[in-house]
Every structure is written in C-alpha cells, then in structure tokens.
Chain A
Amino acid sequence: MTATASPQATVLAEQHLDRPTRPAKHRLSRKALGWQIGLYALLIVLALVYIYPFLVQVATSFKTDAAAAADPISLTPQPFTWAAYERLFLNSDFPVWFGNSVVVTVFVTAGRVFFNSLAGYALARLQFRGRGIVFAGLIAVMAVPTVVLLIPKFLVINQLGIYDSYAGMILPLLVDAAGVFIMKNFFESIPPSVEEQARIDGAGTFRIFWSVVLPMARPALITIVILSFQGSWNELSHFVISTQSPELTTLTKGVASLASGQLSQGSQFPLKLAAAAIMTIPVAVVFFIFQRRIMNASEGAVKE
C-alpha cells in the first residue's frame, strides 16, 4: 500500500513546492510558452503513434475484409460487422486456445508465487550449507538465453514422456530464477524481529514462512503475479516445442498459426486482428488494474 501512496505524496509535494514560485502570471515568457506548447505537441504526436495502432486494430476487427483493405486507417468500421468474432468463437478452435492459455497461466502463476517465495525466503533468511552455491547457480541460470533452450527443453520433455501434455507445458515454466530474486530481495528488506518472536513462541520454519512472513510479502507477491501472468500468457516458444496436438494449442500458438495463414485463405485481417485483440485484453486489464505497481516494479528493479 505504501508503494501506491508514495507517488501521490510526491505529486502533492510537487504542487506544494510549485505554488510559491509560480504566482506571477508573466513568469512564462513568450519563448518559454512556445517551448511548452511544442513539448506538448510532440508528446501528443508520440502518444498517438504509440496508441493509434491499437485503436486501428480494434476498429479493423469490426470491418469486412474488403473495407479493411480499402480503408486501413479509419477508426469507424463501415459497414460494422461482428463476423470476425462470430467466426472465431462459433466456427474455430479459438475457444479451445483461450481455455488452454487460461489453464496454463493459472497453474504457472500459482506455482511461481508459491515456489519462488519459498526459495526466496530460504535464500534470504535460512542459513544452510550450500546456500552460496544455490545462489550462484540461480544467477548462472538467469544468464542462459531462453531461445538457446528450445531444442534442449524439447529433448528433456520428450525423454520424460510428457511431450504434448499439460505437464510438459506447465512444469518447465513453474519456477523462474528472476522471481526468486525479487522475493529474496523483498524478504531481506523486512526486519527479522517478527519472525524471531514467532520462533521463540515455538513456530516451525514453514509455519513462520506461511503465516507470518508471506502475509507481509503482499506487494512482492503481486509483482510476481503480474510478471508470471504476463510471462505465461504471452509465452510462445515453449508451447511451440512442447505440444503438437490441436487440443493443446494455446492462444499465442493458435494466433501465430492464424497469422501465417495456415487456417485461412486470403489475408482475412479482421479475423486475425480480432484474435489478437482478444488475446491482448487480459494483459491489458491486468496492466490497467496494477498500472502504478507495474511502473514501480520495473523502477524498483534498477534501484537495487
């Protein structure tokens, strides 16, 4: 909660500081005013460049194929049609893809929240022989580029007999080293006195972790939830190498196959853009709900 309050606090402080320095109306010279207008104009143009493509995406998903090609830039579909969405939901595997993405995302997010915080707590608080090695190992793991792991992951998934199954899709994504670090850093930032108290009262290590430490870690846990949600919802390459059957296709893989024209003839941009738009909605919703925290999370990561 403190994290959400602080930006507002600084904004208030800024306004407070601004007030005494700004009473004279003629303080802004004509030149400065020109600069100010130029700055806003520039920012608005830039914002338009960043936002307009998404508006076009939504608008085009309601256009007919012919209209999408004839007028690719307007935001008003003429004629307006639900055809793309009808086709996606009633006449394609799209609902299956969506369902698979939901299943994977839920399991991966839950797993990461639990396992990352467990390991993060151990690395932050528990003294055990080999902790340094575990820590160094995690750093080494983070340095391995994911794309290099495509073939290796397939080999092991295949060898374990979990190729083309939910297990193969979910298990390898269930933990991530970066998340362990976020949790470790967080646990190190809270004072150990509360745990010491619980320990003296006779609580076991897991008990302390579960009912004393974890409730205090809410801000960090939310960060993990956001990151794993985005990560697993947007994941493509892992599902490309771990599945092949249509029943296990996720949204990313399914929409990618739509894009490369495997399921459709002609360009069919409204259909593809509708699929991409629906795929974007869940991450967009999470983004807007946790907006402030996302911004702070990425900022906090550098401050270390």
Chain B
Amino acid sequence: MSALSPAPRRAGSSSGIRRGEAAAGWLFTAPVLIILGVFLLVPVLMALWVSFSDWTGRGSPFSSNVGFVGLDNYAAVTTGGGLAERDFGTALRNNAWYVLLVVPLQTALSLFLAVLVNRAILRGRGFFRTAFYFPSVTSSVAITVLWLFLFSSSGAINEVLSWLGVNGPNWFSDPSGVVHNLLGAVGVTSGPAMLTDHTLLGVSWWDWLAGPSVAMSAFILMAVFTTSGTFMLLFIAGLQNIGGDVQEAAMMDGANGWQRFWRVTLPQLKPVLFTVLTLGLIGTWQVFDQIYTGTQGGPGKTTLTPAYLSYSSAFLSQQWGQGAAIAFVLFVIIVALTILQRFVLRDRPVSRRRIRQYEVPGAGTPRPRRVPGAGTPRPRRSKGGTR
C-alpha cells in the first residue's frame, strides 16, 4: 500500500536493492501493532466510554440498554459526597503518603548502597551487589506473603523489636495513622476544629494528615526493600560513567569526602537521579499486587489505593463506570506529577548569584559545569536550591 508512494529515503540507500522494504517494514511491525492496538489502544477507548456510561457489567457495554451518563461517574468519585467519594479520597490519602515516603527513601537508600558497593577497593563486591538486588527479581506476591509473616503479631520483626524492649504493633491489623500516633504520644488525640470540620474528597483534613497507617508502613518498608536493588544498579551505572578527573580536581582543592559527594558526584548523577525519581513516582502510584495479595484495602481501608479501588469497584462492586473513572483520574495524576517533577528538576540556567561564586577574577566566561571545591564560599545546595 505504501509502496505506491515512495518513502523518504536516507541518503545512500539504493532504491533498487531496497524494493519491497516498505511492505516488509509493515509486515514486521504488524504483530506488535495489532496486539498493542487490540489490547491497549482499543481497551483504553472502550474504558473511556465505560467511564461515561452506566454499564453494570452485564452483556456488552455497547448494547443499546447502556446509557450515556456524562460526567456522572467522575462526579460520584470526586464530589458525590457519598461512600464512593470518601473511598476515593481515602485511597488518594493512603497512596499519597506511600509515595511521599517510598520515593525519597528508596532513592536515598539505593544511592547509598550504590556508593558503598562502588568503592574502588572492595572485596566481595559481586556478593553485596547480588544480595541487594535479589529482592527485586522475586514476585510481589511472594514478597508480600513473606512480609505478612515477618510482620505478623508473633513474627520476626516484633521478635527483634522485643529484644530492644519495644512492644511491636500488630502490623497488618493496625489502622492507626503514624502521624496521629506520634501526636498521641505527646497528648494530642483530636485535631483542632479547623481541621476536623473541613473535608477534602470526603475525608477531613485531620484524617488527611493522619500519616500512613501502621499497616501501610509495613508496605512502605516492603517497597523500599524490593526496589532499592534495581535503582542501586542504575546509580552504579551512573557512578561508573563519571570520570575520576573532576573528583581528583576537587580533592586537590581540598574538598573532603562529604563535600566531594554533595558538590561533585551528586550534580553529575542528576540524569540518573531524574530517571530514578520518575520511575519511582510512576511505580508508587500503581500499588496493586501487594494490596490484592495482602490486605485487600484493610484494616479500616487504610491500605486502599486508587489502583485497588478501581479494581474492586469494577470487579467486586460492579460499579464499572466508577472503576473506569478512577483509573482515568489516576492516569491524569501520574501524568501530571511526572510533568511537575520534570519541571522541578529541569536544567536551569545558572542564576546570577550562583555564577558570581564561580567567577575567577580576571578569567573569561565561567563554566557552570565546573563545580567548585571547598575553597569557594558555600553555595547552599548544588541542586534544586530555588524552588
């Protein structure tokens, strides 16, 4: 079909020999295109329709007795004032805390592991790398089963805590929020009326600030445990791409190890950092397997996540329209946050104030990529200083 109109060719390709290439090109990509089209593109369009319909899961969503209800499903989960809205608000609250804690923790831990393992002189590097990476290859189901055991009331974690004289909680049955518990420890057991009287998505501000429940905290630890290995590998690759010369220059300038890490290594790791944060952000908004396997949203809906809620509304409560609507809202959240993160971490032109610090009196144009050693007056934070 496209053979009729000659495709724009790269210079140097002789058209006689390359006859039939267009057909082959389409033929070769056809299986991938068809499968992705049928099981990805078409489904998304179908689900978009379902999210605007009152389909109940019986028969085809395109049959004549399924009606168009406009934005009703979206309204039900965002402004309806009913259970659907409260569940969605709770799920967002839970997942937001999860993201807020998992992303920084896993990034910091994986960077820390990478720096440790990447030391020039280290025996058994392969062993340590393998040990840290191994949890990443196992399935989330198997890890969740293990976690349910480790964090059970008579499990290994509470056993270790008891050695330290701490009476461990009954992790996966404890719906109390961590922040609320901390406040409770200093005598604050109920929030100010300002926070308890006003709600967002059916959840009071006081409850938004409850923190992750103890049960969710166990999942947070699990996510950090299973993902840090993968991201460690990314950081190791990044570290190995950094040349030693800048390090040496900084060392000559008298920068100590700490300064070299923050001012020299970390700025050069920015592209990897960016990848890790993006992957982390996208991954942590899609918590499903752990919840499906472990808690099904309990205790007290404190491990409910939008992904699981979308599944359970559709498949368990037959609220297909709402389930699809939640999925699309989740999609928008993920896209929006990724764009926001891109914006925050974008490469900025170096500010005047910063440039002045790099300037050597009498020298030519300053090179912003040359990071100062310890000699210069301290520029506070070399990354993301100005929000």
- CB proximity of B63 to chain A, nearest CB, Å: 11
> Which residue of A177, A276, A280 contacts B36 across the interface (Cβ within 8 Å)?
A177
Q: Chain A CB within 10 Å — which of B46, B138, B324 has the most?
A: B138
Alpha-carbon distance between A165 and B113 when the two chains are bound, in angstroms = 44
Query: Are B44's CB and A126's CB within 8 A?
Result: no
- Do A119 and B28 have beta carbons less than 8 Å apart? yes
Contact status B139-A252, CB under 8 Å: yes
Q: Which residues of B contact A46 (CB under 8 A)?
A: 113, 116, 128, 131-132
Centre residue among B31, B129, B137 by max chain A CB count within 10 A: B137
Distance, CA A48 to CA B331, complexed state (A)? 38
Contact A128 B285 (CB under 8 A): no
B21/A127 in contact, CB under 8 A: yes
Determine the interface band of chain B, counting residues with CB < 8 A from chain A: 35 or more
Nearest-neighbour CB distance to chain B for A204, whole angstroms, equals 8
Contact of B131 among A47, A150, A283 (CB under 8 A): A47
Q: Are B150 and A56 in contact (CB under 8 A)?
A: yes
- Chain A, Cβ-Cβ closest to B109: A46
Q: CB within 8 Å of A: which of B34-58? A: 35-36, 38-44, 46-47, 50
Write out, one digit per residue, whether chain B residues 109-133 have a CB within 8 A of any chain A CB (1) or not (0): 0000100110111100001111111
Q: Are B286's CB and A145's CB within 8 A?
A: yes
Contacting chain B: which of A86-94, A168-176, A215-223?
Answer: A168-176
B224 → A minimal CB distance (Å): 11
Query: How far, in Å, is B259 (CB) from chain A's closest CB?
Result: 17
A269: contacting residue among B128, B129, B131, B152, CB under 8 A = B152
Which residues in window 128-151 of B have CB below 8 A to A?
128-135, 137-142, 144-146, 148-150
Pick from B46, B116, B275: contact of A159, CB under 8 Å: B46
How far does the alpha carbon of A154 sit from the alpha carbon of B160 in the complex, in Å? 44
- If the complex has contacts A141-B40, A279-B142, are A134 and B116 also in contact, measured as CB distance less than 8 A? no
Q: A54-B134, A155-B61, A295-B133 are in contact. Are A255 and B145 (CB under 8 A)?
A: yes
Contacts of A54 in B (CB 8 A): 134-135, 146
A261-293 near B? 1/0 per residue, CB < 8 Å: 000000101001101110110011001000100
Chain A residues lying within 8 Å of B296, measured Cβ to Cβ, are 260
Q: Quick one: which of B5, B7, B28, B130 contacts A122, CB cutoff 8 A?
A: B28
**In the bound complex, do residue B149 and residue A72 qualify as a contact, i.e. CB atoms below 8 Å apart?**
yes
Q: Which residues of B contact A199 (CB under 8 A)?
A: 17
Is there a chain B Cβ closer than 8 Å to A37's Cβ? no
Q: Which residues of B contact A209 (CB under 8 A)?
A: 28
Interface pair A39/B9, CB less than 8 Å apart:
no
Cβ–Cβ contact B311 & A240, under 8 A: yes
Given contacts A47-B131, A128-B25, A303-B237, whether A151 and B324 have CB atoms under 8 Å apart is yes
Check: A298 CB closer than 8 A to any chain B CB: yes
Instruction: State the 4 A-B residue pairs at the shortest beta-carbon distance, nearest first.
Output: A128-B25, A152-B43, A234-B139, A122-B28
A-B contacts, 17 listed (Cβ < 8 Å): A43-B128, A129-B7, A129-B22, A141-B36, A151-B50, A155-B50, A171-B35, A206-B24, A236-B141, A252-B289, A255-B142, A255-B293, A272-B149, A273-B149, A280-B142, A283-B138, A284-B134
Which residues on A are within 8 Å of B, measured CB to CB? 14, 18, 39, 42-43, 46-47, 50-51, 53-54, 56-57, 60, 68-70, 72-73, 115-116, 118-119, 121-123, 126-131, 134, 137-138, 141, 143-157, 159-160, 171-172, 174-175, 177, 180, 199-200, 204-206, 209, 230, 233-234, 236-237, 240-241, 251-252, 255-256, 258-260, 267, 269, 272-273, 275-277, 279-280, 283-284, 287, 291, 294-295, 298-300, 302-303
